[in-house]
Structure 1
Amino acid sequence: MATLWEAVAAPPPDSLAALIGRPKAALLAALDTPDTTASLARTLGVTPSAVSQHLSVLAACGLVARARAGRTVLYARSELGERVTARQGSAERRPSG
């Protein structure tokens, strides 16, 4: 009952998950707004250390950016990350044929 109003991240699109792996794709999809490692871990139901490892890889690839806010580090999709997720959404809706 306590988690009834919790936000749940949308599942990642299949082709993006095939490219970068389901955990990283889910993490990238969950970053609609800047967020912390601990909060992302709660949202995705994984450990903070797993989120941290995936965020490090996504940051090294230029898909997410870090910004310090006091003692907190916030992560957000970079411009490249936004383009990848936006194109992914349009590719998933495109009819085949």
Structure 2
Amino acid sequence: MSFDTHLTEDARLVILRELAKQTDNRLNETILTAVLDTFGHRRSREWVRTQLRVLADIGAVTITEVGSIMIAELRRAGQDHVDRRTILEGVARPSLVA
């Protein structure tokens, strides 16, 4: 696995974990971009949007667009990955200690 792939898979896990922390399991792309930056993933908004689309394609999130903003909502498959019940291809595995 290339280092870039490793970073991308880790960023997707960060997104899923952050969504799982929310009361309604939802966040918009602007907040997710800031969260990723906090975890050392300094990427463009378009890159974050691409990752949200990938997560939607594998059934981990649902995306709603409001105006020009994407809102991601965690789905059962995404929560199951965060909880280590299943493994989603293309997303880093969560560690045993959260």
TM-score range, shorter chain: 0.5 to 0.7
- Residue identity opposite 2:29 in structure 1: T
Q: TM-score, normalised by structure 1?
A: 0.62
- CA shift at 1:24, angstroms? 1.1
Instruction: Please give the alpha-carbon distance, in whole angstroms, between the structure 2 residues aligned to 1:54 and 1:86.
Output: 20
Give me the whole-angstrom Cα distance separating, in 2, the residues matched to 1:25 and 1:90: 7
Alignment partner of 2:96: what SS? helix
**Distance between the aligned counterparts of 2:32 and 2:94, measured in 1?**
25
Report which structure shows greater RCO (CA 8 Å, sep ≥6): 2
Which one of 55, 60, 71 corresponds to residue 58 of structure 1? Answer: 55
Partner of 1:83: 80
2:27 alignment partner, SS class: coil
Cα shift at 1:74: 1.6
Question: Cα–Cα, structure 1 residues 48 and 31, in superposed 2: closer, same or farther, change >3 Å?
Answer: same
Alignment map for 1:1-97 (pairs within 5 Å): 21-32=9-20, 33=22, 34-45=26-37, 46-68=43-65, 70-71=66-67, 72-87=69-84, 92=96
CA RMSD of aligned residues (A): 2.8
Normalised to the residue count of structure 2, the TM-score between the two structures is: 0.61
Greater mean alpha carbon deviation, residues 20-29 or residues 41-50: 20-29
Structure 2 CA distance for partners of 1:48 and 1:91, relative to 1, 3 Å: closer
Mapped partners of 1:76, 1:47: distance in 2? 20
Matched AA of 2:79 = E
Structure 1: distance between partners of 2:95 and 2:34: 29
- % identical equivalent positions: 18
